[in-house]
Amino acid sequence: MTIVNRFTSAVLTVYFWAFIGFLFAPLAVIIVFAFNQSAVPVLPINALSTRWFQRAFDDTELTGAVLRSAEIGAATGLFATALGIMASLGLSAHRLRLRAVFVAILLLPLVVPYISLAVGLLLLLNQLGLEISLGGVFLGHVVIALPFSILVVLPRLRSLDPALIEAARDLGAGQISAFNLVTLPLLLPSLVSSFLICFVTSFDEFAIASFLAPPGLPTYPVFLYSGSRTPGLLPELIAIGSLIIVGSLAIVVLAEGGRRWAERRLQGATVAAADEPAAEDVGRLAAGA
């Protein structure tokens, strides 16, 4: 007797695909209306056009905001991942005192609401006599991205076979070169995951950016928020939005594909986590929050 009978599995299949439709509907309408010739996103679509893409690319305020967010996102991805490696190395030390306290502090950004953190950072800058700046946005994003990086990198570090590093040391590698030659390459798939998750977290972050991005230098979400209140700007925001949606879906698929490929290649070299897809990482994030 199987666990699920045929009728139940048919019902569940319909339910699942209905939800997939529901989840993708808002993304689909953005992509469809990006090609709508009309200036208002309303059915029926009488003529198709790519003119809003043209308008969007000519709007330097919009493209500037997207680039600004991409730069802050990339910087956040690099810094948070670097800090995530350090935290993971530290937390995996044997006989570490106060480990539970350190874990709690490092994961704290997951539970402090972004809106409270955003206004708190505003007070911090004010207290230090600093103006709001993109640097402040970047630092805020590093803090909120750090736990995600740790939750991706640390389990991977734990799953590495210590014998591999010992072997490198026995063969004459110093601590640093053993780390560079053995640990780092084996961690690489998780570092890529970490970078991407931190990048997306920063690229999409609104609360902190809305308080700390200076006037005239909005990040993409901040520009999107103020721009979507202006009906004249809406079509070009939808056009750029469709590209961003397609781009992020492509990154998710490529990251997962690349990860499966890397895991297969590294399979022999590791103990656990051989066939764990990136989704499992996200599951850990879910469980870790």
36 three-state secondary structure: strand
Structure tokens at 164: 């591999």
Q: 58 — phi, psi (to 5°)?
A: -80, -15
- DSSP reduced 3-state for 239: helix
179 binds other proteins (CB under 8 A): no
Please, which residues have CB within 8 angstroms of residue 264's CB and are 6 or more apart in sequence?
none
Residues 219-238 that bind other proteins (CB under 8 A): 220-221, 224-225, 228, 234, 237-238
In whole angstroms, how close is the CB of 60 to other proteins at the nearest point?
Answer: 20
In angstroms, give the least distance from the CB of 238 to other proteins: 7
Does residue number 204 form part of the binding site for other proteins (CB under 8 A)?
yes
Among 35, 206, 258, 263, indicate the residue that binds other proteins (CB under 8 A).
Answer: 206
The one among 96, 130, 167, 254 contacting other proteins by CB under 8 A: 96
Secondary structure percentages of the chain, helix, strand, coil, to 5: 75, 0, 20
Tell me the two tokens of residue 116.
Answer: 């409270």
Return the number of other C-beta atoms located less than 10 Å from residue 200's C-beta: 18
Q: Which of residues 259-288 bind other proteins (CB under 8 A)?
A: 272, 277-280, 282-284, 286-288
Site for other proteins in 137-176 (CB under 8 A): 139-140, 142-143, 146, 150-151, 154-155, 158-159, 175
Is residue 74 close enough to count as binding other proteins by CB under 8 A? no
* Site for other proteins, residues 103 to 132, rule: CB under 8 A: 103, 105-117, 119-124, 126-127
Of 108, 105, 92, which is closest to residue 155 (Cα–Cα)? 92
Applying CB under 8 A, does 83 fall inside the site for other proteins? yes
